[in-house]
Structure formats: C-alpha cells, structure tokens
Structure 1
Amino acid sequence: MNTATTPYLSLCSYNITFHLVSTSTWKPLAFPPPTKRCHSLRCRLSSRSSTAHVAVEDDLQAFLQVLPYDLREVLLNDPRRAQLLEVVLDLGRLPEARYLGEQGGQYLRSTEVLKEELEYAQDAVGEFGGDNRAGIEGTLHRISAIRSRKGEIVGLTCRVGRAVSGHIDMVHDLLAYGKSILFVGRPGVGKTTVMREIARVLSDEFHKRVVVVDTSNEIGGDGDIPHAAIGGARRMQVPEPSLQHRIMIEAVENHMPEVIIVDEIGTEAEALACRSIAERGIMLIGTAHGERLDNVLKNHTLSDLVGGLETVTLGDEEARARRSQKSVLERKAPPTFYFLIEMRERHHWVTHLTEKSVDMMLQGKSPLVEIRRRDEQFRVVIERWKTYDGDEI
C-alpha cells in the first residue's frame, strides 16, 4: 500500500508490531472492515513536547470591566474563576455565573440587575453587530445581547474567551495530511477554541497560507488587528452573518489561501461555498451545527458537507442481495470534509473517516471510528477500530 497517498494504514495481519512515536511523525491507522484477524489496538501517544499540558490565557481583567463593580469583586475572589464560562445579566433578575463542567449556574448577589447596569455594559462594549454580538477589542471575549420588541437591550450573555494552546495535540497528526476536517459538538464544548489553535499551528508550524473567515470575530477577537492566538493566519471579517458565504469565496478568489477556516457553517449557501472551495483543492477547517454525524447527515441544509443523500431504485436482484427495499438512500457525492470529529467533551473526541462512516450508516451498519481522549498525565490516547453506536461511544 502506498502510504504517501493513503492517510490510513491497515494493520490487519497475523503479526502486528506497534511502536510509540511522537505525534509529529505518527501515522493514523485505518478503520478496516472487521475480519477474523483484526485486533483491537489501543495506542498511547506521547505529547509533541516532553510534558503534556494545556496553557490558557483569558485576560479576565478586561472581561470584568464590563460587569457591575460588585460582581467584579465576587468573581475575582472566586476560586473557580479559571473555569468561568459566562455571566448572564437579565433585567429584573439576579446576575448568574456559569462554569465549565457544571450544570446550572450560581447567583452572584441577592439584588436584581438594573437597567443602568445594562446600559453601562453596553457603553463599555460599544456597538453590537447585526447578529447582536459584540466583543472587547484586543480580547477573545464575546458579549451577546437580548433585545425587547422596541430594540432595547434587556439581557446580556457575557462569555469568557480563552486562548488555549495544547488542544492541538488531539488532532495534530490529521493536519499533516492536508485534508479538510469538520468539527461538530454542542455549544460550549470548545469548537471555536480549537479553530483558533489550528489557525496558529497551520500558519506558524506548517507554514500554510491560512485565511480565517471570522463572522462574529470569535476566532480572531474584536478589533481590526486579529488576536495573537491565531498566529500568522490572516483574518477576513464579515459585515453581516448572511454574507459569510460570499466572504469565503472572496477569500479564495482574492488572497490565494491554502487553508480556509470558518466557524458555524449553518446555511445552504455556506455549504455550497464549502464544496466549491474544496473542489479547488483548498483545505477547509470548519464547525457545523449538530452533535453527531447523523445530525449533519439528516440535516437537508448541511448534508452536502458529508456527501449528501439521494434516493436510488435498485433492481430486484440487487435488492435481494442487499436484503433491502428497492428504494434506498445512498451518498450522492464525495464528502466536502474528509474527516469529521464529534467533540463529545473538551478532551473526548470521536473521529470519523467521513466517506466510510456515511456509507456504512446508510447501509444500516455501525462504522469503525477512533476515540481520542487525554489520560491522567494529559497525554493523548487513541483507541482504534471501535464500533460506533451513537451516544454510547
């Protein structure tokens, strides 16, 4: 087998020799069809550095300046401030803090949020965009507004933005192939954070021409100068969310990127723009709405990202051979994204080889996937040839 052109290597044989190597040289393994000689392997990968760690920069002081003074003091003295996810300020309700890994929230004081406090926060942040989002210049923090029917702000969700380095070890080996990768997962699981570090690594370590299409300034931060967390990647801002697909095509036509990074692919026009970009041989790194592969597959708007669906009528003999009905669903085109990663948690990912997984799911079978986790020493551990059964894996 030509390993230079085939990303996955099959190890189905009588004798299997396995060596631990760093992620800079390691080659990911195949998800071959089950056979009698296939063995379930567990690979512990060493970090690319001598010690595995994740470094976090959150610039919390700038974030706290948006909040009422008494809330700043409470949060500064909170031992869990490193896990602070967001602060919710709703008019006439108690202010609430929410933390990573915790259900629900915690009230920060016993008095309700006043209109003057919301106005102060609005003045501190500045103008909100058409998507009711704003940022704090020079940071990655995001402030989202809830408005009344009259257009007045009656609620704010103040989300802490963190520049995290170290997550890239979870996917560094896949980046070396230059194949497009789609990330899915529930809100708050860290998709945008991963996009940010991938932008930095592809531009600074792989020396690729990277353009980030930044619709809400979440990847590159607010302001005209992008945050240092994206390294040497260039950033194109999007004036209106509805124009994201146009800016994606403009990036390709005007700036000759080798990689395009885009967050929150959610419309048919954006899915079509992704396919057009992929057909030009450009590597795409993106996120989409949904928690699992089947969420994207069943989404009529986004299914094109994983190859799309079409109804095919089988002949009598073919239907009998498949033991299926004569009308079946099949993938109609190659997937736009070669890999799809389900981010279950920040340190628990499920990796699909998109084409194979989609085909097997459409045949009513369970695909084989890779499970990527961190161990007690924070090193990446990959379990291969695991049978995928949705939420249970």
Structure 2
Amino acid sequence: MIQNFDIIIVGGGAAGFFTALNIAEKKPKLKIAILERGKEVLTKVRISGGGRCNVTHACFEPNELVKFYPRGEKELRGPFHQFCSGDTIAWFEEHGVALKIEEDGRMFPESNSSQTIIDCFTQLADKLNIKVYTGQSVQAIYKAEEHWKITTQNDNFTCATLVMATGSNPKIWELLQEMGHTIVPPVPSLFTFNIKDKRIKELPGVAAKVTVVVKGTKLISTGPLLITHWGMSGPAILKLSAWGARILAEKNYQFTIVVNWLNDVDAEDAEKILKELKLEHAKKAVSKKSPFDFPNRLWESMVIASGIEVETKWADLSRIQLQQLVNELTNAHYQVNGKSTFKEEFVTAGGIDLREINFKTMQSKRHENLYFSGEIVNIDAITGGFNFQNAWTSGFIAAQSIIGLP
C-alpha cells in the first residue's frame, strides 16, 4: 500500500520537526509526515547539553553569529538575517517554552530539561495532525513525474515536496549522490585530544584559560582548556577540532600542540614576572603557591617539569631553571595521539556541497521540490547552541519557501 502526502520530511530530529511544525502552523490543511529511521524521535535533542538541550546562543547579530561556523559562515549570513537567535527565543516563548541565558551565552530551557523541548515539538505535531512514523529506514528515493517516491524497509510513500533532514547519515548521502548531488566526505568535527604526558597525568579536572596552537599550521585558539583522564578538552580544544577538522583528519590525529598557559602573556613578559617573584618571595618555595590564575596543582607540575625540586626557594633558582619555567608556562609542547568523541555531542564536517543549495529557500539546485535542513549539508559549528540554531534557521526558511512565503 502506498501512503500519499503533500510533504514528507525524512528525519525526526530537531531540523525535521521544526520544518514540519512551521509548515503545518501556516498551512494546517496540508498532509505532512515525518519519517524517522530510529525507534524514537528527537534523540539528539534529548541527550544534548547533558540532557538540558542547548537550544541556541545569545548572539543576536547575524554577522557575529556566522563567525561560530567553520563551514557555512558565508552561506548562513543571509539566512540568519531572516531567522536568528532572537527569533528562536520568540518562537519557543510563543509555544510555552521560556529560555534562559547562562554566563557563557548558551541558552537552555528554564526547566533545565530537554524533555521540555521534546514535549513542545511532539505535542504540537500531534495537535497539527503531522503523522510521525518511526522505524522507517529509507532505502530508495526517486522522482516520478510530479511527485517523489520514498521506499522504506516496510512501506512506500509519495509526496509533492520532500525535505531531507537526516543529519550525518551516510546511507542518505549515498542516495542523494546517486541523484546527482555532490557529497563533501565527512570527518569528525568536535572532539577532544588524546595526550599521554606525565605533566598532566595527575591533573584531571584542572582547567585554565590558555592559547593553543597546532604546530606547523595556522590553527590557533584561546579559551578555557580542561585536563581530562585521556588528555585535553574544553572550549579551546573543541574550537581547534572544529576549525581544524579536515587538517587534523589528514594528519590522522597525530600532531603537536603548543600551549601558552598564561594565555596572552608572552615569554618576555613571563620572564619579567618570574624575576620579580624571585626578588619578592626569595625565601619561599617556588612550588608552594601558583602566582598565576590557575590551580596550584598545575603550577607545581610545571615547576617539577622545569627541573626544579619541590622545596627549592625562589632565591635559589638558577637562570637555566627560570628559562625552563618560562618555556613550560608559555611554550609547552604536547604530543596528540588520537581523539575522543562524545556521542551526544557528535558533529560532522561534511555533507551536501553548499554550492548545490539555494540558501534563500534551502531548495536543491539539482531538483525542484527537494529541500534540506540541518546538518545534512556541509555546515557545522562549535559547541554552544550554534548547531541547533542552524537547524532552526534552515528549517524555518525551508518551511517559508514550501508554503510560498517570501
């Protein structure tokens, strides 16, 4: 039996639901279906942000917002002028979900639960008579005269308009490639660095604001760095992994990073500071207390790594030891051997070539009545709610275009 719809959205995630809801609210008579291959919908929404769902970011200027997207910066400028973070906040508030801003700009539901977003979407879909089918893994897609045919392992569907919102799904990319679309090969985008180094071995949980450079490249990042059991993480590292996604993949995740633990203090200024400390604290042990804005444990590790005994007094520091300490503070080299990816935060660089999409409508340039929303295209962002904002914006624009609104 073939099931007929006006619009079918393949993918029951954030982008798919947002597209469907924005169409159905304006055109309630349209027959709309969402096809999801998994047993549940909105699974990434459920686990994102540690189960709180980082809905968006409090960056309200489109030209600033685009800077958080390693891939898609140029293409998203126009779309963000149509639907930006402020519009996201307004949409959720209109639908009974109040959002709050945290210190770092990330925005979450006031309830602190991703279930609030899921309930909002599923209840509204139910109210708007959007049919949601789970366990529907798409096997084939083809165009037949004026409509699309979609075959899953269980059923056959037809529709006039098709929206692909499947995220990083290799099977769907393969089908779209067969239909003439170019797929930029996927590589992981957000990951942490695996580092085995005695200097940080005993320091999991220690954090500092740093500047990090990938040696031999132009990749540089500043921000909080977190030492973990397997190496290094935190915003400074995740930013590097996002902007360097392809470069680091080509290096097979074997490379050297250079960390300035003093962030914006260079070696020359660090040396001056240490010489002043040598005079001021002559009779005190060097390792005793961190003179910088990071934990004592990290300072003690650097002192030991510089060849300075734990009980050594400032007055007894040799010129060579002082130089080694400067180097350890501002120019510490660490060998990275591999990466770790958190499944709930998994983001991929890659997808449909951006040149093949009309960003005023999110329609395919290869096929009429074929639209895209979310991470299926070659757009990704750093952490902080930016990937969800791309889902909301692309879903909204696709919906507006489908229902014929400018």
Of the two, which has the highest radius of gyration?
2
TM range (shorter): under 0.3
Q: Which has the higher contact order (CA 8 A, sep 6+)?
A: 2
